[in-house]
Amino acid sequence: MKTKSKTIYKRPTQKSKFVNLLTTVDHKKIGIMYLYTGFTFFLVGGLEALLIRLHLAQAESTLLSAAEYNSLFTVHGFTMVFLFFMAVNSGFGNYLIPIMIGARDVAFPRMNALSYWIYFFGALFIHSTLFIGTTAPPVGGYLSEESNLFSNAVAGGWFLYQPNAGIQFSPGTATDIGVIGIIFLGVASLISAINLTVTTFNFRAKGLTFMKLPVYVWMTQVVSFLLIFSLPFITIALFTVVFDRQFGGNFYNVAMGGDPILWQHLFWLFGHPEVYILILPVFGIMSEIIPVFSRKPIFGYATLVFAGFAIGFIGFGVWAHHMFSSSIQPLAQAGFGAATMIIAIPTGIKIFNWIATMWFGKRNLNVAMLFSIAFLINFVIGGVSGVLHAVVPSVWQQTDTYFVIGHFHYVLVGGGLFGIFAGIYYWFPHVFGKKLNETIGKVHFWILFLGLHLTFLPQHWLGLQGMVRRTWWYDEGMNIEFWNLISSIGAVTILLGVLVFIFNWIFSKRKGEAAEFDPWDGRTLEWSTPLPPPEYNFYDIPKVKTRDDFWHRKYAVDEENRSVSKGKHDEIKKYTLATTLMDNSHIHLPSNSLFPFITGFGLPFLGWSLIFRGTFMSFVLLSIGILSLLVGIFGWILEPEHE
Amino acid sequence: MTQNKPASRYLFLFLFILSCIENAPMDSLDAQGPYAREINDLFWPIMYAGYVIFGIVLVLLILGLFVFDDKTEKEPKNIEGSNVLEVIWTVIPILIIISIAIPTVKVTMDLLKTPENAIEIEVIGQQWWFDFYYADQQISSPNLLVIPINQDISLKMNSKDVIHSFWVPKLNGKRYLVPNVDTYLNIKAEKEGLYWAQCGEFCGLSHAKMRARVLVVSNKDYKTWLIDQTLPYEATQIQDSPIYDGQQVFLNAGCTQCHEIQGFNESDVALLGPDLTHFASRSMFAGSSLNMTQENLESWLIDPPLIKPGSYMPNLELTEMEVSQLVDFLMELK
């Protein structure tokens, strides 16, 4: 029932592109916005990494100053973890989950938009540090070089160890901006996690019981649980830092009885699950792509799902392996070491299940599959060096060296990034109705594969040879120039690979091979829509009978247990494409709303007002922030349900 | 296990000819003491097992893709899983993990015990240098830890400001230096020589230049060194000599606010900077980031924060004359 409401409370209906961008609540559009924004920050973080590598290409390099270098590696960490990786995972999740479970949108569409806008403005807030951030040497210390744009950012490392990142040892506003920015991003992730959880639990199509869900949905669900349980740790921890820095909270001030090790526990209680928050969705992507291009169902569905849960669960009990060189006692060290090793078991199960999926299948070595295979190889290398990080005495040698950097870049770049690229090649036709070019894609793949190993394999050896992390300077006498140079050449190679990918994206969006329906002979529900899907996803809400339901609509099983085409491909395609022309006025979709944007818009102003605390400017900023929040929230409450 | 052959091990490890990595002074695989060696003896078998596992995965992957793929004209079989196989690749990793966990726990417990006959030396970390304090002799030896050969040393460590981490890769792993908390690290060297040490935890602007050296000497030399270090400085009274002028600059330019020279400007309170009594007896200075040469000392005195960004030692804006007098004096502090 529509109620006539006052003009001011109308939901926006204008379909101009810009207004639609600000007001959309469509999960697909928000997902794509996440992907574009996240990928932009991937380029930013990548350029930061490139500067770092160029600086380290030779011994005693003076390309960057210590202040610039420290800011760059800190911001590289922030950007890649929070602004790129988590955003892209959110993008995939937002786009895919409703459509994989046969829903028309997420459970809370406006919250979904809010989550994106908080992320967006949080990212802007963090980058405002370039213009208003200041860093300074510790109280009593001196600096001979002028600070500049690069050294205007937080420089305490993404782990912000206290008291080094406290007010005494890192004065200036840059650290505050970084800390508050991360709090904003945490809010965005929490909203998104709750939203996707409710969606998965309540919006599944008829017949789609839990054990029929695509593995990707399961893995994202584990991640949502991890976010819901681990974000409170980091939020509390970051608030203690803000209190310390702004109001003399003394949580980590040793002279007043504070405890710097407490910060490490709180940080890693979040920081370790965070690693799985980044990688588990990629496990999900692998579990979607490998079966399709082997033309077989996933091997050991149930174990794969439970292994994901096991990784998430155990991931909460291993945080102290980041702190083996701290003052924690022998028994705790041994215990956390043993617990860490256990994670290798469910991870191993997943690896073997993926390989078993390929056995006796029909391989299709297209770019998405190449990236998936490379993912497996890279991830096993990262996993093997990961087991060494559970061997406590070995960690005492390798912690805080380049060995660790090599390890986690194999996992996050060789695993995570490769998996994301696989996902992009796989779902690109779904989003744009066109395929990414396979030939350019193969060039992209091989350059990136070469670049990855050139860059990160030598870093293991550098670490074993004693190169300490986060050092802007190393002596010629260290005898470590050669592999540093190779590693830097590798970084440039990765840049080339990424440029090829960008070219492929632009080229294929214009002139790519058209894919209007089910280009890969897919198995899951998202491939049963026209491409790109209409706003309402499904004309008819699907009824699900089996796992991989869409496959079983197309294929029967013969007496040898082989799939046999039912010969219905064309019929299904014809009908699906015809639905786009049918009358869809009866389909209810959530209406657009500007208020999530306005609510998110206010947050950075609250942050800035804290940064400029005690000035008139701060009061103005605070007013804008509060006003914007009030308008946003009350408008949200008062606007009508429909347009 | 063969010892002291890091190059051959790298060779085996990476199947590369790596002539350029020999003699890396911080090579953690080149153990020169029992603690570091025990860690390596744990590291290598696990590393080798890792290669084997990686090899198995690679072989299974290639077999699955190119040998045991479905070669019929039909669609592949819908194999949904196999309980037997899945139990196998759950149980085998469990067994591997147990066989790694037992030695890990044992070595962890072993290495954290402090040996009974160990000599205790204090390590005090501060931005950005290590101070080594011999409590029995009341000697402070900034940047240089001198220890006797084949003797267990228990380092009692603490920090004056932020968290640091002390690491001599050839002798043992890292351990934090936490403000207000004593942490302990055992080291023992079996070969005389100069070892490199470095701060392992990010501690601010000049973290990269927070280094130290560990000098391992014979028992006899150790005792001589201890006695030498207890001797105070005897100030020269000959006016108009370069050293006398240097002394005057030292007293007047502000140096004494942070630096102490036993027998010359003793202070009742703990000072911020390193004790300079035997400054020139060490081969390095400025957090072991500079070799002890005239030129280095000059450029350091002209602008310390240029060499160590963030340094608590300011640019004192000394004249060329003052710098050269100060260098003459400091080089006298043997």
Instruction: Say if residue A274's pLDDT is above 60.
Output: yes
Count chain A–chain B contacts defined by CB atoms under 8 A: 335
H helical segments located in A79-214:
86-100, 109-127, 129-132, 174-202
Number of domains in chain B: 3
Shared domain check, B12 and B36: yes
Query: pLDDT digits over A403-440, tens only?
Result: 999 999 999 999 999 999 999 999 999 999 999 999 99
Q: Could you tell me the residue range of the domain that residue B280 belongs to?
A: 242-330
Q: Residue B234: inside a domain, yes or no? A: no
Shared domain check, B128 and B101: no
Return phi, psi of residue B120, to 5°. -95, 130
Query: pLDDT digits over A138-169, tens only?
Result: 999 999 877 777 888 999 999 999 999 999 99
Which contacts of A507-513 are long-range, i.e. CB under 8 A and separated by 24 or more positions? A507/A437, A507/A440, A508/A428, A508/A432, A508/A434, A508/A435, A508/A436, A508/A437, A508/A440, A509/A432, A509/A434, A512/A432, A512/A434, A512/A435, A512/A436, A512/A437, A513/A434, A513/A435, A513/A437
Shared domain check, B96 and B189: no
CA distance A91 to A37: 9
Which of residues B165, B189, B221 is at a domain's end?
A: B221
User: What pLDDT sits at residue B22?
Assistant: 62
Shared domain check, B124 and B207: yes
Query: Which residues on A lie below 8 Å from B315 (Cβ)?
Result: 142, 144
Shared domain check, B165 and B99: no
Q: How far apart are the first and last CA of chain A?
A: 11
User: What pLDDT sits at residue A328?
Assistant: 87
Shared domain check, B98 and B35: yes
Cβ–Cβ gap B104/A387 under 8 Å:
no
User: What pLDDT sits at residue B10?
Assistant: 53
Shared domain check, B148 and B104: no
Nearest alpha-carbon partner for B9 in B37, A400, B34: B37
Structure tokens given for A642: 């429909």
Cβ–Cβ gap A400/B57 under 8 Å:
no
Return phi, psi of residue A480, to 5°. -125, 15
DSSP conformational letter for A253: -
User: What pLDDT sits at residue B3?
Assistant: 45
Contact B138, B172 (CB under 8 A): no
Shared domain check, B57 and B35: yes
Which of residues B88, B111, B134 is at a domain's end?
A: B111
CA distance A611 to A131: 13
Query: pLDDT digits over B104-120, tens only?
Result: 999 999 999 989 999 99
Q: Which of B50, B89, B174 sits opposite A387 (nearest CB)?
A: B50
Query: pLDDT digits over A577-593, tens only?
Result: 999 898 888 888 888 99
Shared domain check, B141 and B65: no
Instruction: Say if residue A9's pLDDT is above 80.
Output: no
DSSP conformational letter for A594: S
Cβ–Cβ gap A396/B173 under 8 Å:
yes
Query: pLDDT digits over B233-254, tens only?
Result: 998 888 888 899 999 999 999 9
- 3-class SS at A177? helix
Q: Residue B53: inside a domain, yes or no? A: yes
Query: pLDDT digits over A178-195, tens only?
Result: 999 999 999 999 999 999
Shared domain check, B124 and B97: no
Domain CATH code at residue B286? 2.60.40.420
Domain CATH code at residue B89? 1.10.287
Query: pLDDT digits over A291-332, tens only?
Result: 999 999 999 999 999 999 999 999 999 999 999 999 888 899
Query: pLDDT digits over A616-629, tens only?
Result: 999 999 999 999 99
Query: pLDDT digits over B78-87, tens only?
Result: 999 999 999 9
- 3-class SS at B164? strand
User: What pLDDT sits at residue B328?
Assistant: 94
Shared domain check, B10 and B105: yes
Q: Residue B236: inside a domain, yes or no? A: no
Q: How far is CA B250 from the centre of its chain?
A: 31
Cβ–Cβ gap A562/B77 under 8 Å:
yes
Instruction: Say if residue A2's pLDDT is above 50.
Output: no
Which chain A residue has the Cα nearest residue B21? A479
Confidence class for position B16, pLDDT limits 50, 70, 90: very low
User: What pLDDT sits at residue A336?
Assistant: 94
Q: What is the mean pLDDT of residues A555-582?
A: 92
Q: Residue B209: inside a domain, yes or no? A: yes
Q: Which of A143, A157, A365 sits opposite B305 (nearest CB)?
A: A143
Structure tokens given for A357: 């999926």
Q: Residue B141: inside a domain, yes or no? A: yes
CA distance B237 to chain A (A): 34
User: What pLDDT sits at residue B14?
Assistant: 53
Cβ–Cβ gap B54/A296 under 8 Å:
no
Cβ–Cβ gap B208/A474 under 8 Å:
yes
Shared domain check, B321 and B252: yes
Instruction: Say if residue B5's pLDDT is above 70.
Output: no
Mean pLDDT of chain A: 93
